[in-house]
Amino acid sequence: MGDNGGTRERLIDTTQRLLWAHGYGGVSVDRICKEAGVRKGSFYHFFPSKEDLVLEALDALWAAARAGVYGSAFDRALHPLERLNRFAELNYKYHVEMLRGGQWQAEQGCPFGNVGAEIGADDVRIRAKVHELYEAEVVYFQQTLADAVAAGAIPAQDVGAAARRLVALQTGLFTHAKVYDDAAWLLEFIPAAASLVGAPVRDGRFLVPADAVP
């Protein structure tokens, strides 16, 4: 059986949106099918369970994040501290635009953190997926911090441990932004990250040598 109508893609797209807004427990198969305009029988043709669909939706959310933020911000042609500036700026800009444009009625935080925070002890596959995605984020930060150490921009340190702290910091800020319904919490990333890795800051940005910015 083919999928010329794009049913599978509609289910994944709808689940991405619902997960971000309502979390794992707040989204049922019935609701996904209704909002995607798909019959329940068709749902089970493509996905054995809600859990299987959520796993694919999380992968799709990460692919979008890589294309929209990580791939652009962590361009190795940039000075490593400028990469961190761009990461913080792009994250904040995206959240503000979603709120101002009416796509979001309230700040929604991070879908990975939202799902990870509510899973139970039996949700082994979901836990493993969120763990995997956090580790994928760590890779970007770890490379950037290694480059920053090599450039003399920050002190020598365990860049793997520091990268995990930065991911944890960003996850916490997303949670605060959601709880307080205020994307301004994301602006705290740079000053807090600077303290964690020993980087210089001026006017709310990591201080990058003038000749290092294209």
Question: Hey, which bits of the chain come out as E strands?
Answer: 201-202, 205-206
Q: pLDDT grade, residue 3 (50/70/90)?
A: low
Q: What domains are defined for the chain?
A: 59-207 (1.10.357.10)
Cα distances from 94 to residues 52, 68, 89, 125, in angstroms, run: 28, 9, 9, 29
Mean residue pLDDT of the chain comes to: 93
For 1, counting Cβ atoms within 10 Å of its Cβ (0-12 exposed, 13-18 middle, 19+ buried), the class is exposed
Q: How far apart are the first and last CA of the chain?
A: 51
Give DSSP secondary structure letters for 85-110. HHHHHHHHHHHHHHHHTTS-SS----
Residue pair 85/199 in contact by the 8 Å Cβ criterion: no
User: In percent, how much of the chain has pLDDT > 70?
Assistant: 96
pTM over 0.85: yes
Q: Tokens for 54?
A: 């959520």
Q: Quote the pLDDT of residue 214.
A: 46
Q: How far apart are CA 20 and CA 208, in angstroms?
A: 34
Reply yes or no on whether the pLDDT at 33 is more than 60.
yes
The count of residues in the chain is: 214
Q: Tokens for 22?
A: 């309502």
Residues 72-126 pLDDT 10s: 999 999 999 999 999 999 999 999 999 999 999 999 999 999 999 988 888 899 9
Q: Quote the pLDDT of residue 210.
A: 73
Q: Quote the pLDDT of residue 1.
A: 46
